[in-house]
Amino acid sequence: MDSPTNLFSDSAPQIHAFVPTLSSTDLPGVHPQPSAGRPPPSFRPPGFPLIHHLLQPGGASRRIGGQPNTNLSTHRHLNNRGLEEEGGKRDGQLEEGMGGGEGEVLEGEETLLEVKKRHSDAALAVEWSQDVLKLKRMKLESRQRNGEADGETDEGGRKREGGREGGREGKRREREELKEQLEEAKERLQALQEKVWRAFGEKHMAEEENKRRHRNGNRRATDGGDGDIGMMEEEDITEGMYDEEDIDGGEVEKESFSLLSASPFNNFHIHKRREERPKERDGRMERGRGGLQLEGVMEGAGLWLDCGGLIGGDWDGGVEDEGEEGGQKFAQALKLELGSAVARVIDRVLRLYTETTDSSPSSPPAAISFLPSDMGNDGGRERGVWTGLLTRGRGEQKTRGKEEKTGGQEGEREKQLQQMSNGSAGPPGQSHRTEPSDLTMPLAVQRSPDIRKSHPLLGPPLSAHLNPSHPSLSLHQPSLPRPPPLSHPPLLPPASQTKDASSFHPSSSSSSSSSSSFPAPPPPPPPPPLPLPLLHYSMQQLFSRTLHHPQLPHLAPSRKDYLNADPFLEFSSHPSFPPLPLLGHLDPSLARHAHGGRERERGMRGDGGMRGGGMDGGELYLTAGGTQEGLSPCHLKKAKLMFFYTRYPSSNTLKTYFPDVKFNRCVTSQMIKWFSNFREFFYIQMERFARQAVREALTRDGAPRLGRENQLRVGRDTELYRILNMHYNKSNVYQVPERFIEVSEVALREFYSAIWTGRDSDPCWKKGIYKIICKLDCPVPDAFRLPGCPVG
DNA sequence: TCGGCTCCTG
DNA sequence: CAGGAGCCGA
């Protein structure tokens, strides 16, 4: 978890995919030129298939050459492209041909496979390519017939039977036609092949041909054969092919630069790519040019595909025939154009929005959120941050020293705060609390830098990826020295500590001061489970507002006002976090589940509800006097944030910081129970990571040294930090105070020490640790004294 | 006796 | 996260 800038910088390439410079014509895979020499027979302007794709609601990813339904869809496309001219007479060959001539195919395929196994050198590539072209053609023919059959199931078996009869009659003639077409296609494709060959070099093409040939063999076996090619033992081979394709089909497809199969927009591949992206990024430049360009295409596509069923949907999967390539290219071009256009619109809207919020007088300066987290000095600075959020200028008074010196003033201030909270007008933020659904890491990784800059209050991201060139980095990565911890001397790791640190320390610290000087970005932390590109997020935002609350747009102008009115809302209603996790995929019905049943049952509304009406579930708990009989989810979130400062709050402390709660025995117990649960989680994690560290220390070198303890740290780039942040600061809109990190480190080391020395055999071994941690509480920032929910 | 805490369970 | 049991100290 590190500076937010880093994560956004990391996502920059993907965002670039939307900039106009990457228009569809610039994309190699979309460029019309490569298809110039392609056999045109089956190409049609894919108007209908395109729309068909766009209208695919499910967005289910389809694997190439995979399941029958995949083929069905593809066949329909072929059907729709006017291949009907060959008519029902071809239907008859669907089964007939498969039974008749497939043997040759398989024999040839066996031969090819054998050859492929024996010879991998480039010299065979050309020869193979001819075979591939042939097979491609066969496959296409087969698909056409299959499409005839599959695409018209509505008409029942009658037409099929009729077609079968017609097929018998014209069987001979059609074979001749097919052969002619095959020859024609061969020639054209061969010419094209030579072009490609020249362009990309023999070796590369040889490999690609090898792969493609293999894959084509698979598909042909899968799809059934042509009329002039026999079929035998198909099942066995096909099964094998399926297996093989399951295993490495995606890789083959990804690596191949196949002009015959320009279908890089494959969900499977995209997702696979995303998983590999971190480690691939470095090596990508070293790949063949074709591969590199294809990467660009795929990256761009990935963003759209991530929009789930919105538009990417079903259209990319498995379309691989040259006959469809034109349509595919058209679809890709349109998709990219749409993508860039929508992205521009979204960017504009977001820019407008963020300008209004940034220019609002009560908005904190951008730098404030990235103040060096030197809460270690007592949290005073952090308090300043919070106070700055609440009321401009008040934060300046909040240095620790001043507070101690001006206790009387603070008392007055507290009175004022209490008045604010109990005033008849009601706390401004009370009615605007929000419950943003959080998707911390994934978003953070891929959110736009612009967004991030405009919303500096976002918590630190997890990733340690840096883009030092990013303009905001200098602002937000101050080089202030890390403050000394309060009570416990920090067991700062030695400078030499690196990779062999414990797993909760996956990389060098980039937090605060020590990290910014690291020359090279540390190894990336565990990748977020669901990276969310900006577009996805933006679309989610737009859809969550428009779909859930279509009336919202007209409320947009007033947003600035109520933002100013409620400082908490600076966090809570911030659009920087999607209201819906990726799960939703822009589908409101799905997104509804993402908020969790309990909160909804309690009257907690989704993000949109709060924004639209300024209502919040918390209001349901309000009594006439402005306090609540019960505890709302907002209170829970606030309590979690308070846990960053105090692990063992007293009842009085709780009453002080929850002025809007009407405390009774039950409520107090519940809140105390909350903190008890917080502690439990905290200690469980500490113990878990400490044990892991001990294990690793033992396995690392047979003679473990206690010096390893020095590597026990909880930097913002560690897994432990990520877990803690996710638990207590799920929406990640609050900057975890450095103080808490230090406390966590102390706890971790205490656990480690206890486990290391075997003290954990004592049933009460944790009590001593509890006692230590108990003393490390620090004052909660005054901002928490305000009623309401700080971050939603 | 009561409040608070930990531990366990669901 | 809540509920309950058990423990401890005021």
Both tokens of residue A139? 């496959």
In terms of pLDDT, which residue wins out, A643 or A373?
A643
Report the C-alpha gap between A657 and A728 in whole angstroms: 17
Q: Looking at the DSSP assignment, which residues form a beta bridge with residue A102? A: A230, A231
The answer for A485, left when phi > 0, alpha when psi is -120 to 50, beta otherwise, is beta
With a 7 Å cutoff on the CB, does A668 touch strand C? no
Report the C-alpha gap between A734 and A383 in whole angstroms: 12
A624 in any annotated domain: no
With a 7 Å cutoff on the CB, does A665 touch strand B? yes
Both tokens of residue A512? 């605060």
pLDDT tens for each residue of A575-616:
222 222 222 222 223 233 333 333 332 322 222 222 222 233
Q: Mean of the per-residue pLDDT values for chain A?
A: 45
> Could you tell me the pLDDT band of residue A740, with boundaries at 50, 70 and 90?
very high
Mean pLDDT, residues A182-189: 65
- Please give the nucleotide, over all strands, whose C1' is closest to the CA of residue A637: C1
With a 7 Å cutoff on the CB, does A651 touch strand B? yes
Q: What pLDDT does A194 receive? A: 59
Most confident listed range (A377-386, A450-459, A566-575, A764-773): A764-773
pLDDT tens for each residue of A213-255:
444 434 333 333 333 333 333 333 233 332 333 323 333 233 2
Instruction: Please determine, for residue A661, whether its predicted confidence score (pLDDT) is greater than 80.
Output: yes
Token look-up 């230590």 returns: A772
Instruction: Please determine, for residue A96, whether its predicted confidence score (pLDDT) is greater than 90.
Output: no
Report the C-alpha gap between A376 and A6 in whole angstroms: 23
Phi, psi for A230 (deg, rounded to 5): -75, 170
Give the C-alpha distances (Å, rounded to integers) separating A321 from A137, A141, A565, A645, A785. Answer: 8, 10, 59, 61, 65
Question: Does residue A131 contact residue A213 with C-beta atoms inside 8 Å?
Answer: yes
Phi, psi for A517 (deg, rounded to 5): -90, 0
CA closest to C1' of B5 belongs to: A676
pLDDT tens for each residue of A301-328:
222 222 222 222 222 333 333 334 444 5
CA closest to C1' of B4 belongs to: A672
A177 in any annotated domain: yes
Give the C-alpha distances (Å, rounded to integers) separating A368 from A17, A44, A454. Answer: 31, 57, 12
Separation between the CA of A411 and the C1’ of C10 (whole angstroms):
29
Containing structural domain, residue A311: 4-343
> Could you tell me the pLDDT band of residue A650, with boundaries at 50, 70 and 90?
very high
Report the C-alpha gap between A733 and A612 in whole angstroms: 21
A278 in any annotated domain: yes
pLDDT tens for each residue of A13-71:
222 222 222 223 232 232 333 333 333 333 223 322 222 332 232 222 322 232 333 33
With a 7 Å cutoff on the CB, does A770 touch strand B? yes
Most confident listed range (A130-134, A350-354, A726-730): A726-730
- Please give the nucleotide, over all strands, whose C1' is closest to the CA of residue A676: B5
Token look-up 């930097």 returns: A715
Q: Looking at the DSSP assignment, which residues form a beta bridge with residue A661? A: A628
Question: Does residue A753 contact residue A601 with C-beta atoms inside 8 Å?
Answer: no
Separation between the CA of A247 and the C1’ of B10 (whole angstroms):
40
Both tokens of residue A685? 């994690």
With a 7 Å cutoff on the CB, does A663 touch strand B? no
Of A759, A395, A437, A779, give the one whose Cα is nearest residue A590.
A437
Q: What is the DSSP letter of A758?
A: T
Separation between the CA of A676 and the C1’ of C1 (whole angstroms):
10
With a 7 Å cutoff on the CB, does A640 touch strand C? yes
> Could you tell me the pLDDT band of residue A727, with boundaries at 50, 70 and 90?
very high
The distance of Cα A554 from the centroid of its chain, to the nearest Å, equals: 30
- Please give the nucleotide, over all strands, whose C1' is closest to the CA of residue A730: C1
Give the C-alpha distances (Å, rounded to integers) separating A577 from A355, A533, A540, A716, A748. Answer: 17, 12, 10, 19, 30
Separation between the CA of A518 and the C1’ of C1 (whole angstroms):
41
Question: What 3 state SS string does A209-228 have?
Answer: HHHHHHHHHHHHHHHCCCCC
Separation between the CA of A579 and the C1’ of B9 (whole angstroms):
32
Question: Does residue A780 contact residue A719 with C-beta atoms inside 8 Å?
Answer: no
Q: What pLDDT does A287 receive? A: 33
In terms of pLDDT, which residue wins out, A332 or A431?
A332
Residue A119 burial (CB count, 10 A): 15
Burial of A765 per CB tally in 10 Å (0-12, 13-18, 19+): middle
A255 in any annotated domain: yes
Report the C-alpha gap between A708 and A392 in whole angstroms: 45
Instruction: Please determine, for residue A498, whether its predicted confidence score (pLDDT) is greater than 60.
Output: no
The answer for A271, left when phi > 0, alpha when psi is -120 to 50, beta otherwise, is alpha
With a 7 Å cutoff on the CB, does A730 touch strand C? no
Total number of domains constituting chain A: 1
A746 in any annotated domain: no
> Could you tell me the pLDDT band of residue A348, with boundaries at 50, 70 and 90?
low
Mean pLDDT, residues A641-658: 93
Mean pLDDT, residues A412-429: 32
Instruction: Please determine, for residue A363, whether its predicted confidence score (pLDDT) is greater than 70.
Output: no
The 3-state DSSP class for residue A764 equals coil
With a 7 Å cutoff on the CB, does A668 touch strand B? yes
Share of chain A above pLDDT 70, in %: 19
A370-395 burial, b if ≥16 CB within 10 A, otherwise e? bbbbbbbbbbbbbbbbbbbbbebebb
> Could you tell me the pLDDT band of residue A268, with boundaries at 50, 70 and 90?
very low
Phi, psi for A595 (deg, rounded to 5): -85, -5
A46 in any annotated domain: yes
Residue A309 burial (CB count, 10 A): 16
Both tokens of residue A161? 């039977």
Which nucleotides of strand C are protein-proximal, with an atom < 7 A from a CB? Answer: 1-3
Which nucleotides of strand B are protein-proximal, with an atom < 7 A from a CB? Answer: 3-8
Token look-up 């590369």 returns: A204
The 3-state DSSP class for residue A651 equals helix
Instruction: Please determine, for residue A688, whether its predicted confidence score (pLDDT) is greater than 60.
Output: yes
Report the C-alpha gap between A285 and A154 in whole angstroms: 50
Both tokens of residue A20? 């106009």
Q: What is the CA radius of gyration of chain A?
A: 31
Report the C-alpha gap between A337 and A245 in whole angstroms: 32
CA closest to C1' of B7 belongs to: A680
Instruction: Please determine, for residue A638, whether its predicted confidence score (pLDDT) is greater than 60.
Output: yes
In terms of pLDDT, which residue wins out, A359 or A674?
A674
With a 7 Å cutoff on the CB, does A678 touch strand C? yes
With a 7 Å cutoff on the CB, does A643 touch strand B? no
With a 7 Å cutoff on the CB, does A672 touch strand B? yes
Q: Looking at the DSSP assignment, which residues form a beta bridge with residue A628? A: A622, A661
Of A303, A733, A267, A278, give the one whose Cα is nearest residue A532.
A303
Residue A146, H or E segment: helix A123-150
User: What value, to the nearest 5°, has the Cα angle with vertex A277 and ends A273 and A280?
Assistant: 110
A771-774 long-range contacts, Cβ below 8 Å, gap at least 24? A772/A488, A772/A746, A772/A747, A773/A647, A773/A743, A773/A746, A773/A747, A774/A647, A774/A648
pLDDT tens for each residue of A692-724:
899 888 887 655 454 555 568 888 999 999 999
Phi, psi for A661 (deg, rounded to 5): -105, 130
With a 7 Å cutoff on the CB, does A643 touch strand C? no
With a 7 Å cutoff on the CB, does A330 touch strand B? no
